[in-house]
Amino acid sequence: MRDVAVIGAGMIPFGRRDEDTLMDMLSFASLKAMDDAGLGDKSVDAVYVGNMGAGMLQRQSAIASSLADRLNLLPAAADTVENGPASGGSAVKNGLLAVASGYYDYVLVVGGEKMREVTGWRATDFVATMTHPQAEYPYGITLPGMAGMFTRLYMEKYGVTREHLLAVSLKNQEMGALNPFAHVEMALDRDGIFDSPHAIVNNPVSADPLHLYDLCPVSDGAAAIVICPLDMAKKLSKPPVLIAGFGQATDTHTLQERDDPTDLKAVTLATQQAFERAKLKPSDISVAELHDAFTILEIAESEHVGFFKKGEGGKAAAAGKTRFGGQIPINVSGGLKARGHPVGATGVAQIVDITFQLRHELPKNRQVKNAQTGLTVNFGGFGNNVLAFVLKRVEQ
Amino acid sequence: MKKEIAITAFKCKKCGRIHYPYHDRCLGCKHREFDKIKPEGNAKLLTYTVIFNLPWGFDQRFLVIGVAEFENHVKAMGQIKADSVDQLKVGMTVIPSWEPVRVQYGEDVYGLKFEPVE
Ligand SMILES: [Zn+2]
């Protein structure tokens, strides 16, 4: 197996992008990553596109072939990878394995989703199609609803409070306001969404006990990376970022069939695999991008990946340990909560953000000092398919 | 007339683990043969939520949904007959029934409903 590095990274601002088609967004992000890698007119051997909903939302299938055509990557191999909200991570994994195996040298991985094309009513249904078709979907359950039921159990078992969730929400939205690629561009005011009597109007219950600002927005967006063998990456102008470890694990489709529904086993297993392969441990990580589609998930994942003991994640967030400048900065990009969550894009966007961090090229107010290693967690379904990546700066 | 609860759960013939929904191999021991069982008795509420942003296909204002465990340990999701979550708590008894849970293509779709007991 060959060592594989990220040599190009790019994304377009997430948000509501009425003027762009899905293909526009995938193309724009791809060109940014290819230009960042300094590929010029050169092509790639293969392209992997992470996307969950083009068939349902745009009535368009086989988008990887379409992208190869638009970018004139012809005759590169092209595949679309669908794995729910972990489609982006799965696309990166496919690219990684293809290069590591020696089969391809230069691979483009792009993730994208255009969710605002349909009403919120339709988008909610689209995301809910990943629930169990007989045992869950007919009841009208949504992903926020699954998160609400999970939060209730987590609160009862570990004493997580709304105040802990609020800390995540405020932190990520504050950081998102500094990120030009983020969907949500304003910091939140604690008083307005929590303390004041108007808070119930500004921040109503969305999926009890979760409130509106515990949820990520519904976004359009795309992100891309170019990867190649580390040996070939050393001749390039920007410092390569090594994909030092990768892991993936699955769990039962429904929460109720897990022995302990608060135990996100797939997160633990995927992350352990990634750490083992990278020969690193949680305390070695400089900066992490976790899958905070709901504030509770950032807290639960921060425990399951090994940054904090079970039951300590909420308190750690409230104590500022996961803030920029804290013990382990989590979601400096703003996370899904503020960067946005165009489902197929997220797993790639997390790696783009960590790449920027490890190349030390972000503005001072977002650059984690001397960042050497990063962790990403891309969470599919309700934790039934999870991918983790450990990335490492390579000195030239 | 009360309709029968049209859920079938599957009890592993080798290790006894109860599954709902169906799996081709046991989640405990990978065995492939199961006895079909019906949920029995009342149920205990394991967790719940109320959602206000409903998916396409539902035109009410909110839905109260939860997961409950029957007396014979079958666990299943259902809609809860409650106007708010204030009247609910984890561990309380709910009475199951089989009723319309949504309308699709003009037809009622039946599913589990849980009625909280004071
Ligand atoms: Zn068994």
Classified by CATH at the fold level, domain B40-116 comes out as OB fold (Dihydrolipoamide Acetyltransferase, E2P) (2.40.50)
Q: Which residue of B has its CA nearest to A154?
A: B47
Q: Is the pLDDT of residue A396 over 90?
A: no
Chain-chain contact of A257 with B57 (C-beta, under 8 angstroms):
no
Residue in A127, A139, A253, A262 to test binding to B, most B beta-carbons within 10 Å: A139
Residue A106 to residue A7: CA distance in whole angstroms: 10
Residue B69 Cα to ligand 1 middle (Å): 19
Q: What is the band of A12 on the pLDDT scale with cuts at 50, 70, 90?
A: very high
Segments in chain B below pLDDT 50 = none
pLDDT tens, position by position, A282-317: 999 999 999 999 999 999 999 999 999 999 999 999
pLDDT at res. A350: 98
B15 touches chain A (CB under 8 A): no
Residue B29 Cα to ligand 1 middle (Å): 4
CATH class of the region A4-119+218-233: alpha beta
CB nearest B78 (choices: A139, A156, A253): A139
Domain edges within chain A: 4-119+218-233
Domain edges within chain B: 40-116
Q: What is the pTM of this model?
A: 0.97
pLDDT at res. B2: 85
Q: Is the pLDDT of residue A225 over 90?
A: yes
pLDDT at res. A236: 83
Q: Is the pLDDT of residue A318 over 90?
A: yes
Q: Where are the alpha helices (DSSP H) in chain B?
A: none
Chain-chain contact of A139 with B112 (C-beta, under 8 angstroms):
yes
pLDDT at res. A395: 86
B 21-80: CB under 8 A from A: 21, 27, 46-58, 63, 65-67, 75-79
Mean per-residue pLDDT, A22-31 = 98
A207 touches chain B (CB under 8 A): yes
Mean per-residue pLDDT, A178-184 = 96
Largest CA distance in chain A: 61
Largest CA distance in chain B: 45
pLDDT at res. A185: 85
Residue in B18, B34, B46, B56 to test binding to A, most A beta-carbons within 10 Å: B56
CB A98 within 8 A of CB A105: no
A 151-170: CB under 8 A from B: 152-153, 156
- DSSP string for A274-304: HHHHHT--GGG-SEEE---SBHHHHHHHHHH
Tokens 């009513």: give the residue.
A121
pLDDT tens, position by position, A161-180: 999 999 999 999 999 999 99
